[in-house]
Amino acid sequence: MLKELLHTGIGAAVILKQKVEDEMKRLEDEGKIKTTDAKSFLESIETKGKEEEQRIKEQLKSTLKEVIDELGLATKEDLAKLKEDLK
């Protein structure tokens, strides 16, 4: 389920990006916006997208750690320590 949700979000982002780029190109062709303004706007959107992606990754990582702790699952570190203790 998580995988499908992630794929849906990525797909939506790609479609939205293409639509924004198409609209900016149309406005540029009609002379309603300067090329530099269009590029600046697209770069701004890309930067915000990357920042949001990083924020979501950190939030997901934190949530997964909480779930692992709540379920009492062993982590790689736990297993490594156990291996070391058994030597």
Q: What is the pLDDT of residues 24-55, one digit of tens each?
A: 889 889 998 888 888 888 888 889 888 988 99
pLDDT band at 7 (very low <50, low <70, confident <90, very high): confident
CA distances 7 to 4, 17, 55, 63, Å, are: 5, 15, 17, 19
- Domain limits at 35? 2-86
Contact 33, 27 (CB under 8 A): yes
pTM: 0.59
- Give the closest residue to 46 by CA, choosing from 17, 75, 85: 17
CA distance 23 to 33: 11
Per the structure, the count of domains in the chain is 1
- Judge whether 27 and 38 are in contact, CB under 8 Å: yes
